[in-house]
Structures are given as C-alpha cells and as structure tokens.
Amino acid sequence: MAVLARALNVLALLGIIGVLLFAFYHQVMLGELPCALCLIQRAALIAAGFGFMLNVRFGSSESHYGVVIVSALAGGAVAARQVLQYIVPDFGSSGPELYGWHLYTWTVVLFFGLALLAGVQLFIQAQFFEGVHDLRPTMLSYVASWVFVAVALAHVVSTVLQCAFGPCAGSMVEYELLQK
C-alpha cells in the first residue's frame, strides 16, 4: 500500500505539472495572458503540487497532505470567486472554454479533486509506518521534482514579465516589461 501511495503522489505531481504546462501553452503559444485571479489560482496549484512533491522527495507525511489540502482550499476559493464574477448569463466571461466550461470552472473541480485525493490518501496508513520513509526516491520521482521546479521557475519569469514588480491588472493583453 505504501508503494500505491507513492505512485499516487508521483501521478498527482505529474498531473499538476501537466495542468500548469497546459495553462502555459495557452499563455505562450496562443497569446492569452492570464488574469490576476488566474495567476493566483496557478500559484495555489503550484502550492498544492509542492505538497505532493514533499511526499515524493521525503516520503509520505500527514503534514505534506495538509499542505495539499490547505493549498487546494485556498485555490478553490479563488476559482469560486472567479466563477461568481461571471455567474450571470450574458455578462461576459474570461478565457477559453474546454468541453463547454471555462478554465476557472474546471479549476474549481480540480482543486476539489486534489483536496479529495489528499484526504483519501490519508487513509492509506501503511505509508506512515516507520521504515517506509527509508524507501529511496525513484528516478521518476527525481525527474518529476526537478521538472516541477522548472515549471515554477517559468512562472516566476512569466509573472515578472507580465506584472513587473507590482500588483497585476485585472485583465492584461501585454507583458508590462516587454512594452516599448
């Protein structure tokens, strides 16, 4: 069961990396800059991924799952706030759609799912037994961790380019540092 927990942690980390890269693809390839609330949701997603990364790097711990759940709650609140912003029909929307729902609506589902996953994983008691922490991280774990770091670095660079060193405008069409 400890191996199952580890596999789930790696898969969750890879899934979060995939979602962040998908958002990055929309930003870089399609030229759709994220809004301020979208950026905050991405930060919360990285924060949740960090919890899974801790499990992958150091072995499972209740506090690592706590990191995931708290981050998911924060991100879910931000995403729900953005859904509320466009809750009335014909009052506009923000960003692209995927299977009929806007990305921020999917993000609510994603954060709910992450909190649920972390909560369910807490029931796998075998992963917390003494000695399990001595399991050596696999090569995939190392690669996933470093790719996660690279994705986080890419978001730092892109956010600085977009918003410079101040607060971000609600919706932007240009990178602030690349103007002129």
Partner 1 sequence: MMALPFTLLLLAAVVATLGFRRSSELTWLAALGATLYAFYEHAGEALNIAL
Comparing CB distances to partner 1, the nearer of 99 and 139 is: 139
Supply the minimum distance, in Å, between the C-beta of residue 149 and partner 1.
Answer: 5
Binding site for partner 1 (CB under 8 A): 36-37, 39-40, 42-44, 46-47, 50, 53-54, 57-58, 63, 67, 70-71, 74, 77-78, 81, 84-88, 91-92, 145-146, 148-149, 152-153, 155-156, 159-160, 162-163, 165-168, 170
Cβ nearer to partner 1, comparing 124 with 161: 161
Between 88 and 139, whose beta carbon lies closer to partner 1? 88
Residue nearer to partner 1 on the CB measure, 99 or 179: 179
- Phi/psi at 50 (5° precision): -60, -35
